[in-house]
Amino acid sequence: MPQNFVIRFVSVLAFVLVLAALVIHFLFSGETTVVLWIFTFPIILAVPILISVFLAKDQELGVSVHE
């Protein structure tokens, strides 16, 4: 995989993970934290994937463009 794509994915993943951790830690009680982590885990993974794919260029992904 191209380096720019991986760096973008990891940086967005880290940002979303830290944001979710702070929100869950400070806004919810101790009994609901495990349930919230289970429910937000697909969102935590989906957001970086979608952002990285939408922002990727053909050159980054190695896609040949026939013009």
Give 10-residue mean pLDDT values along the chain (67 residues): 84 94 90 90 92 82 70
pLDDT at 6: 87
pLDDT at 67: 63
Distance CA 14, CA 46 (A): 13
pLDDT at 15: 95
Distance CA 40, CA 25 (A): 13
pTM, whole model, 2 decimals? Answer: 0.77
pLDDT at 1: 60
3-state percent helix, strand, coil for the chain, nearest multiple of 5: 80, 0, 20
